[in-house]
Amino acid sequence: MVPNASFQVISQEILPDVPDQGVFPVSKKGGMEMPEDQQDPEHPVIRVVYGDITRLPVDAIVNAANRGLSGGGGVDGAIHRAAGPRLDECCRRIGGCETGDARITPGFDLPARFIIHTVGPVWSGGGKGEDDLLAACYRNSLRCADEAGCRSIAFPAISTGAYGFPAERAARVALTSIREYFNGVTGIREVLLVCINERCFESYTRLLTP
């Protein structure tokens, strides 16, 4: 497990007519299994979900981008296609993004109001600061969302595709980074961790289950 913080954790599949698959709330004192009638609605919520991130009606979705913000394969390409050609034009004006940093654009044709583009590290065995760079992706993306007034944000599993970051290690970095961020002041009330396969989903739920 990773360190606890003051938010509730809900694991579910975000598919039509699929109920919640289990609730894993995290209390202020760090204890798990808080009864539902004692959960504090003012605390941020994390949801681990299956689904298509381009279809989520959240304030911001995060794009696992390349340094040129030029679109590519996987989630990056799917977001660029769904957002439409205005996103390509906007990204060209931004001019790029360094690994670990984040840039924000409108959502254009997406249900989301904003797209936060962050460049994850390429896995090189773990000895080149990959964990710190991945943590920076989550931290800077959350900061961008807060600055834009977002209350909900959805993340893909950054760097776990073509960039080769091990899924469970990446999940641990993601959860730790998000929890550390929520130790500060934030207006974000909901974080969705969007999975496209069983390996990703199981990595998150294993870390969140006592």
Annotated active-site positions, please? 76
Q: How far apart are CA 188 and CA 125, in angstroms?
A: 33
Distance of CA 43 to CAs 91, 130, 194, Å? 34, 30, 20
pLDDT at 159: 97
Q: Which CATH superfamily includes the segment(s) 8-208?
A: Leucine Aminopeptidase, subunit E, domain 1 (3.40.220.10)
Q: Model confidence over 88-144: pLDDT tens digits?
A: 999 999 999 999 999 999 999 999 999 999 999 999 999 999 999 999 999 999 999
To which H or E segment does residue 12 belong?
A: strand 8-12
Domain boundaries, the chain: 8-208
> 142 and 133 in contact (C-beta within 8 Å)?
no
* pLDDT tops 60 at residue 19: no
Q: Model confidence over 157-167: pLDDT tens digits?
A: 999 999 999 99
Q: Half-sphere exposure (CA, 13 Å, Cβ side) for 100?
A: 10
Q: Model confidence over 7-17: pLDDT tens digits?
A: 555 555 444 33
| Rg (the chain; Cα; Å) | 16
Q: How far apart are CA 2 and CA 172, in angstroms?
A: 7
Q: What's the start-to-end Cα distance of the chain, in Å?
A: 7
Summarize the confidence of residues 43-53 as an average pLDDT.
Answer: 88
